[in-house]
C-alpha cells in the first residue's frame, strides 16, 4: 500500500493510476488522514440484446400445467387423486 498527500496525488496522478491498475492499493491522505483510495473498476458485461432475449425465451422451461386458472388446476389434482384410489 502506498499513501500520498493530496498535493502529491495532484502532481503524480497518472503514475498513481497506473500503480492502482497494476493492483497496488493507493491511498490519498488529507492532513495525514486517509480520505480516498484509488482502485480499478470491475469490467462490466455487455448490454443485453434482443438476440440474447430470444435465446433465453427459446430455452426457458415452461410450466407443466398449461392453464393458469387455479380452480382448474385444483380440480385436475382432485380428479387424479380420485383415479388413484
- Tell me, yes or no, whether 44 lies in a domain: no
Q: Within this chain, do residues 33 and 54 fall inside the same structural domain, yes or no?
A: no
Contact call for residues 1 and 20 (beta carbons, < 8 A): no
Q: pTM value? A: 0.51
- Tell me, yes or no, whether 10 lies in a domain: yes
- Tell me, yes or no, whether 17 lies in a domain: yes
DSSP state of 25: -
Domain count, the chain: 2
Q: Within this chain, do residues 6 and 32 fall inside the same structural domain, yes or no?
A: yes
H or E element at residue 84: helix 70-84
Tens of pLDDT, residues 30-81: 999 999 999 998 888 899 999 999 999 999 887 666 667 788 888 888 888 7
Domain around 74: 50-84
Q: Within this chain, do residues 33 and 11 fall inside the same structural domain, yes or no?
A: yes
For the beta sheet containing 2-5, the strands, ordered from the edge strand earlier in sequence to the opposite edge, are 2-5, 26-30, 33-38
Contact call for residues 19 and 8 (beta carbons, < 8 A): no
Amino acid at each position: 500500500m502506498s499513501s500520498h498527500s493530496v498535493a502529491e496525488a495532484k502532481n503524480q496522478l497518472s503514475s498513481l493510476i497506473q500503480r492502482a491498475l497494476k493492483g497496488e492499493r493507493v491511498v490519498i491522505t488529507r492532513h495525514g488522514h486517509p480520505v480516498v483510495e484509488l482502485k480499478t473498476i470491475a469490467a462490466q458485461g455487455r448490454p443485453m440484446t434482443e438476440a440474447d432475449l430470444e435465446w433465453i425465451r427459446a430455452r426457458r422451461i415452461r410450466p407443466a400445467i398449461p392453464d393458469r386458472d387455479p380452480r382448474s388446476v385444483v380440480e385436475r389434482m382432485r380428479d387424479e387423486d380420485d383415479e388413484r384410489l
